[in-house]
Amino acid sequence: MDSDRRRMTGAEAVIRSLEAEGVTDVFGLPGGAILPLYDAWAACEHTIRHYLVRHEQGAGHMAQGYARATGRVGVAIATSGPGATNLVTPIADAYLDSTPIVCITGQVPTHLIGTDAFQEADITGITMPVVKHSWLVDRVEDIPRVVKEAFHIARSGRPGPVLIDIPKDLQLAEFEFSYPKQVDIPGYKPSRHGHPKQVISAAEAILTAERPVFYVGGGAVSANVDPGDLIRVAESVQMPVITTLMAKGVFPDSHPLCIGLPGMHGSKAANWAMNQADLLVACGSRFDDRVTGKLDAFAPGAQVIHMDIDPAEIDKNRAAQIPIVGSLELVVPKLAEALQSRMNGGPPKAAPWLQTVQDWKRQHPFRYRNTEPLKPEYVIERLRDLTADRDVIWATGVGQHQMWAAQYLQIDLPRRWLTSGGLGTMGFGVPAAIGAKVGRPDATVINIDGDGCFQMTMQELATAKMYGIGAIHVVVNNGWLGMVRQWQELFHGERYSETLLESSSPDYVKLAESFGLPGFRCETVDEVDAAITAALECGGPCVIDARVDHEEKVYPMVPAGAAAAEMIDVEWAEDDNAWVEDGV
């Protein structure tokens, strides 16, 4: 971008600013108050691709999927009022999962603000609790600086969503454009380097621990921590590694030290390991209630090392004896070096502990009884196995299918697993997968969705069709709001209040066809491979309707409010050949 000043409208300035930030793809839907920006979009020469969505929520989640898959900032555009309020859910989702997105909304003209004008909503006010920062632009000259600050704040420190609200008259106003080279925000200086003494204290604590557990969270993905550095830390003392739902893939699932998912539907090995640990090495994880269960009973004997970019995470839910505030991609390699330089060559102190945890993992794998009707876990296992030779990015909705996917998929690289962890947003899967495929067209993108979730955002199939965005959408169709049904069965006396979908659900194959997309169905074990293979071979967007057992439940499970070590599980028998283990 040349720094020559040039006269232009606020609308063109937005486009030039996006170009200056290196943006190549945005997701949005026009409307009255954002019309000048869309007019400039058509009138100006530029290289940014715009994807027209069918609902602004889709634009927001696509921006999230794009950001999470690529590590770049996602951009969503909407008009004022309802367009802007439709972005609230993705913004809240991005806030809880620390996803860097920039949302640009039109606002009614300045002189109408505060008059309850047509399509007026105080979107900076509405989103205030769920944005990292926001701006209501009040001078056209501020547009370049605000966009510069917005991208900087969204992507640096603990990433998060930001919102820029631009009144229509300012989009039309002209001014001398120049893009700032530097950003200077006095109140925003995220810490970078962890304190060296704290890193050494952490290394010494890890070396003397008898039962250490490496508790890796989504912050490690956000920070682009080199998986090799995580592996060096874990291998130096042969420490078992727990990866939270948000961290899946940042430490390879296939690594022998990886114990995998903790928490409500995590493995027994992971929950028992955390609860019997004498040292938790938290790395970009936040002691979320879905991980800890009853907080007072969580890991009662453990000291805590807590590495995080966000000082507010330290001592929030669990007190840390050794806090390290800094960028994880800098802190983790320093910790690895500190550990390696202090190794005395003898067998790690924690070796017997590792043996115990690995035995638990072997003895208590995720498992299901592979009988008729078709089991959802089987569908997910076949998706995993039939794509083993591909670079796959997985997206999910929220609910049972999400948990089965987390349990049975094997992911060995970061940014291959896109799920709504914090907010638990049903409907995340379809648009997130589309956004990911836009950002990573070379990858195979598969959305493992539930039928309840799919019906929330399935209109984005039109977006997929329009641009040929070839993500595969697998509807794990059990005809229920399955996770709610599971709770009703287990904890609410089998009163299935308002959770049955099947009688009124669409035919997902015909639905796909009505969008002009191929649809495939499987209802028995014999049909699964053919449907998956056909979907993989069709090369474009498509839908698989996998009709599965209505009553299958996700196990093991920590009941809400219980201690994480107290997991409930199904009874199973060693001599029953129908049992299938996850094989990971």
Partner 1 sequence: MTARSHHTLSVLVENRPGVLTRCAGLFARRGFNIDSLAVGTTQDPSRSRITIRVDCSQHSVEQVIKQLYKLVDVLKVQELDTTAVELELLMIKVTSTPERRSEIIKLAEVFDASVVDVGPEALTFSCVAGPDRLQALEQLLEPYGIRELVRTGRIALDRDGELGTRKRMRVVA
Token readout for 234 is 């874990």
User: Looking at 8, 12, 27, 56, which residue is catalytic?
Assistant: 56
Is 168 annotated in the active site? yes
Q: Does 111 bind partner 1 (CB under 8 A)?
A: no
Strand partners, 279: 212, 303
| Smallest separation (angstroms) from partner 1 to the CB of 128 | 5
Is 118 annotated in the active site? yes
By the 8 A CB rule, do 284 and 222 touch? yes
Residues 460-489 that bind partner 1 (CB under 8 A): none
Largest CA distance in the chain: 78
The C-alpha atoms of residue 156 and residue 179 are separated, in whole angstroms, by: 19
Considering only 316, 342, 369, 550, the residue that binds partner 1 (CB under 8 A) is 316
Stretch that binds partner 1, among 53-61, 85-93, 323-331, 418-426 (CB under 8 A): 323-331
Phi, psi of 327 (to 5 degrees): -70, 125
Considering only 129, 345, 346, 493, the residue that binds partner 1 (CB under 8 A) is 129
- In 330-391 the beta strands, taken as DSSP E runs, fall at 367-369
Residue closer to partner 1 by CB (options 186, 346) is: 186
Cα–Cα distances (Å) from 175 to 12, 143, 172, 487, in that order, read 10, 10, 10, 58
The C-alpha atoms of residue 577 and residue 580 are separated, in whole angstroms, by: 8
Is 488 annotated in the active site? no
Residue closer to partner 1 by CB (options 311, 373) is: 311
The C-alpha atoms of residue 90 and residue 418 are separated, in whole angstroms, by: 13
Residue closer to partner 1 by CB (options 132, 553) is: 132
By the 8 A CB rule, do 493 and 411 touch? no
The C-alpha atoms of residue 488 and residue 497 are separated, in whole angstroms, by: 8
Stretch that binds partner 1, among 216-224, 294-302, 322-330, 504-512 (CB under 8 A): 322-330
| Smallest separation (angstroms) from partner 1 to the CB of 194 | 7
DSSP structure string for 161-223: EEEEEEEHHHHH-EEEE---S----TT-----SPPHHHHHHHHHHHHH-SSEEEEE-HHHHHT
Considering only 174, 176, 184, 315, the residue that binds partner 1 (CB under 8 A) is 315
Residues 192-231 that bind partner 1 (CB under 8 A): 193-195, 198
Cα–Cα distances (Å) from 489 to 188, 404, 455, 553, in that order, read 48, 18, 23, 10
Stretch that binds partner 1, among 133-141, 212-220, 296-304, 396-404 (CB under 8 A): 133-141
| Smallest separation (angstroms) from partner 1 to the CB of 122 | 10
Q: Does 312 bind partner 1 (CB under 8 A)?
A: yes
Q: Does 183 bind partner 1 (CB under 8 A)?
A: no
Phi, psi of 215 (to 5 degrees): -110, 95
The mark string for 68-107 relative to partner 1 (x by CB under 8 A, - otherwise) is ----------------------------------------
Of 99, 90, 113, 70, residue with least CA distance to 29 = 90
Size of the site for partner 1 (CB under 8 A): 28
Token readout for 240 is 């078992």
DSSP state of 310: -
Q: Does 133 bind partner 1 (CB under 8 A)?
A: yes
Q: Does 332 bind partner 1 (CB under 8 A)?
A: no
Is 483 annotated in the active site? yes
| Smallest separation (angstroms) from partner 1 to the CB of 342 | 22
Residue closer to partner 1 by CB (options 300, 516) is: 300
Considering only 43, 128, 490, 560, the residue that binds partner 1 (CB under 8 A) is 128
User: Looking at 1, 118, 128, 502, which residue is catalytic?
Assistant: 118
Phi, psi of 88 (to 5 degrees): -60, -45
Residue closer to partner 1 by CB (options 311, 424) is: 311
Q: Does 326 bind partner 1 (CB under 8 A)?
A: yes
Q: Does 314 bind partner 1 (CB under 8 A)?
A: yes
Token readout for 204 is 């010494």
Token readout for 290 is 């879905």
DSSP state of 375: P
The mark string for 415-444 relative to partner 1 (x by CB under 8 A, - otherwise) is ------------------------------
Residue closer to partner 1 by CB (options 169, 310) is: 310
To which residue do tokens 């007019």 refer? 39
Q: H or E stretch including 28?
A: strand 25-28
Token readout for 46 is 């530029």
Q: Does 559 bind partner 1 (CB under 8 A)?
A: no
Residues that bind partner 1 in the complex, under the rule CB under 8 A: 124-125, 128-129, 132-133, 136, 138, 153, 185-188, 191, 193-195, 198, 310-312, 314-316, 323-326
Known catalytic residues are 56, 118-119, 168, 483
